[in-house]
Chain A
Amino acid sequence: DTAVSQTPKYLVTQMGNDKSIKCEQNLGHDTMYWYKQDSKKFLKIMFSYNNKELIINETVPNRFSPKSPDKAHLNLHINSLELGDSAVYFCASSQRGQAFSGNTIYFGEGSWLTVV
């Protein structure tokens, strides 16, 4: 069973469209994340939810909106897609609701978004 799964894996869409990426984890973790990996492979945190509560909201255009219906799911909705949104988006999760430096963050396989 895949621990952190995200869909779709590949997404090609036109500028201006709205799209969503879904993420589910079956690890029983309390905290989930969205990371963005740009064309230079740099990974940057976008959002994090702890028990359905938004705890990290980095400087991200408000066209990006995360939603966590329950602690096992964290979806990412993107409005009015732009060329610069093309990237790999990783969902991730970690154990325990408290910030603890030793808790490993486990990643999904990534969603390749291409905006044309």
Chain B
Amino acid sequence: AQKITQTQPGMFVQEKEAVTLDCTYDTSDPSYGLFWYKQPSSGEMIFLIYQGSYDQQNATEGRYSLNFQKARKSANLVISASQLGDSAMYFCAMRGSNDYKLSFGAGTTVTVRA
């Protein structure tokens, strides 16, 4: 079974600054995928970024990057140059090699201040 832990229930960040959202996981699968999703106040779930457990490099997608530390079982999301539109809830999720489903963390709410 997969377990995802997001220890930060809420964070504030100043516009144009970077913010790091923590995510740790636990799994016995040798191969797995890590995902981050954004849920704005409108409610939809938006896929942001993916990291495979065997990927040599950390994933990046525009202003999003994933700080993947396999030995520490962490997959932190870094949002650079925060914008007001980044205010949302962010979910870390994981899928094992034999899993059809994604298992989610509890989420972190980010509020960007002007």
Residues of chain A having any CB pair with chain B under 8 Å:
31, 33, 40-45, 48, 50, 55-56, 88, 90, 92, 94, 99-110, 112
Contacts and interface: CB of A to CB of B under 8 A. Distances in A.
Contacts, number: 67
Contacts of B50: 102, 104
Given A103-B95, A110-B43, 14 more contacts: A31-B100, A40-B106, A41-B39, A101-B53, A101-B97, A104-B35, A105-B102, A107-B37, A107-B44, A107-B46, A107-B47, A109-B43, A109-B44, A112-B43
Interface residues on B, range: 20 to 34
A41 B47 contact: no
Contacts of B52: 101-102
Pick from A88, A102, A104 the residue with the most CB of B within 10 Å: A102
A48 B99 CA distance: 11
Interface string B72-114: 0000000000000000010100011111111110110000000
Given A41-B106, A90-B45, A110-B45, A101 B96 contact: yes
A101 B98 CA distance: 7
Contacts of A106: 47
Contacts of A33: 100-101
